[in-house]
A and B are shown apart, each in its own frame.
Chain A
């Protein structure tokens, strides 16, 4: 009897584990928006390259995209010392790269050397540059490494979430990886094919080896309509960033396939050209430098309508440089500018503007008219600019919407300063506001409204410079938060950027894809790639 039960139990276990094996695995399909130029994680700069890096790269620590907390990965623990100048990692032992090369502290040292090579101009590396001087990496043991920077680096530990460790010894160079997948095949213009890394170190709570998927196929597809079409047909398992245009249509047909994770970290904003040497009339420069003018324009824009019409309700009026989705860093005392055309007119009157026969004129009698430039590849921005055109008409301002291709736009706003107002967006990949240093420092390149200042041209910009340097130089989160809160308040008053909306993080997930829990932080849908699997893994083999 006991033998019979034992046999039955054995059969049951076998059936259960084989059904689990059958249920898990599969080949995940989704799209890249553009062709990756490189698979070298140190040289990653655009979205598609970051996708491949996320899926293949092993990192020392990982920001859990759901909890927004830092978790150990290749490092079991870490310590920040020397007021944020030094970080020491204790590494996991007995790990191997995808090609079998053993992992050790030497690989971390090698990676840091590549990352900080000034000739490579790595985007990831630049995030670590805190001052003049070299970054030194000391291998303390095979499983311990200390990295020292010339000056404190704000949020230093979280930055390692972006650093994929490369092998110092492997003949495959950057193609040998520590992440859940490795690049197995690449067809230019067509796809990138990733296979499961048999040497990946992670296991789930039940002890199963991760990742659960067998492979990931990334089709290169710049067209969003085709991506959606393929998703509806079941050829794709997810759309990581779904346009709001398509969200409700897809939701009407298949409500269980769409996800709205709430406001993302990204923002859309417009600003006025305040460069003193800009080739625009002086009277216009005077308008744009006027705080009252900027505040009035901000008040005259109906942000709720932008959210409702352009983003089909899948956006929120924005307040400032930090989205409310960024729980810790957002200054919760601030609220979006209210839509109040009358108050806008009052504000304009304070600056000497008057309405005459429906046309707003300045104190010199010039009719207020300016152009907004934006990039052609973004229909939402074109629509927002057109809606702002109508909103400002109500306060007597004539706006011309000019859509340009991106290189022409960059030339105007970044080189020749031959523009009046611009409407663009900011993609925030990280929570820490230090990543916006090159936006808020008045001497920086991306201080869009008036970049590369030799010294701050206004008192408030000098204040912002001080506050940004303060938050970068201390490791105390409370002090940093206080400094950044104050920056947000100044920006709110001065409106150098008129923040418009924070778009929601929208995605589409096939019901066939298990364990998907879309969140706000990038990559929204496949952040837990090692735990995802396809329920009907055999159904689309070889497609």
Chain B
């Protein structure tokens, strides 16, 4: 009997003398939201070491971008952080506008702020409710997804799609905000705060949630900076670095908002920082709507005929509009040669676009500075010495989005 067993099982070298066990937290796992593999060395329930593997959803965005025109890259950027895809779209449009040197009217900036903050609310709602699901509290998820549906309806009114929005164009938006959009925004702003308060009362002072998340998955500010953290994960460690205040874009300097900051960088702090950011976003949307009241309501794009498609009625009747349309679609416009880097505050931190243009129809090189990829490197260090269930909660609190990791 023992002889037969020894023949069938092939153990790796040195494994009989090993005191630890190896667990494969594999690419398909209910708790890893996205495809990440971690090979854990465990001593009972404690984790000694972790080796992450990424690349299970590598879609070669940077290579595709070298073969597409500038306006065709927007649907690609959608699929980076797909929980808050309008922010990625706007970031890409702002990069191209920086390259061509376009100035946008204020109303377009405020419209962009509204859309970006709605997307940020949607992203943080997913992350926080999923932290709840991982600790066993399913109801928060159900409450909060009703409001994601309201946000999806607003996106649908503006651009036609719910999740991967491809919203906006280089120079503004494809259509003006209709009355229905404003009505839906008002409805959202009226009903959401009450639901958010209910969500907070479910979790913030909940004894079980606090015991599971305080002190778990923490990282110090110095190590976080060395690892290149940005976004809510960095702000939870105590450093108030927010791209919206450090390198303002899209008229964020006109707005009055504060940047919430935590202390220890553990899961509870990240949860609270994201909740506070949701409240800040609601306030930003209200301020933007207020500011838009004094501006000319028919303006929704900049006057850059070289890059912004003209109206279809003009294309069929006027000569110049026809020529501009042809030039833009066929890629004959003169794009400046140069290299530009622009970043926006995405749901996870600094999403940067490094664009090198050689004057042709497609970029020569486009590199995405993806926040998830950069801070996931710190994961083995964060979970060393913690228990397996804590490792799972840490992963979901870092808000790892597989598409953005390109993994």
Is chain B a partner of chain A in the same complex?
Answer: no
Point out residues on B near A: beta carbons under 8 Å. Answer: none
